[in-house]
Amino acid sequence: MFPAVKLFVGFLYPDEDTLSSALDRLRALWGDVQRVSSSFPFEHTDYYAQISPHLLRRFASFCGLRHAGKLSRWKQQAIEVEKQSGTPRRINIDPGYVDGARIILASTKDHAHRVYLRDGIYAEVTLRFRQGRWLPFDYTFPDFRSGAYDAFLDLVREDWKKERREGQI
């Protein structure tokens, strides 16, 4: 059996129209959206200022379980959707996955705590699930470290558990 995971995406975006357009494109690639989080103000870094000086963060998870080995492909597809948003891009899309033990995010940026996958894509264990809660690492992004997203990530983890039990692989 392959490592079955729950695909989810983190968005940084300036307005709801930009998010809606990106979600439509991702639905065409990955199927139905299962959950969408509420929006969170994103003020943790100015790294994405070229998108907009004022950004929102939101997450979406997709129906069904997927093969973890497709993370690199998902990131490449997300980059294409970002490019379709305009020049410069109007949205940042970071795919990742949830399983029972961890949150993995894809990145195009190398760092000591990231593992190379293929085609310029790296993977990072961003959070781990222990003793009933999400725990950060010393390198975990400040917004993930804050715990603000934990309730949504808990729901996605519960969806993963339910789909595993039901054999939706």
User: Which amino acid is residue 22, in one-letter code?
Assistant: A
Q: What is the pLDDT along the chain (169 residues), one digit of tens a residue?
A: 578 999 999 999 999 999 999 999 999 999 999 999 999 998 866 766 778 888 999 999 999 999 999 999 999 999 999 999 998 999 999 999 999 999 999 999 999 999 999 999 999 999 999 999 999 999 999 999 999 999 999 999 999 999 999 876 6
Domains assigned to the chain: 4-165 (3.30.70)
DSSP string computed for 79-132:
HHHHHHT-SS-S-EEEEEEE-SSEEEEEESS--TT-EEEETTEEEEEEEEEETT
Which sign does the torsion angle of CA 82, 87, 91, 94 carry?
A: positive
pTM: 0.93
Q: How many residues does the chain have?
A: 169
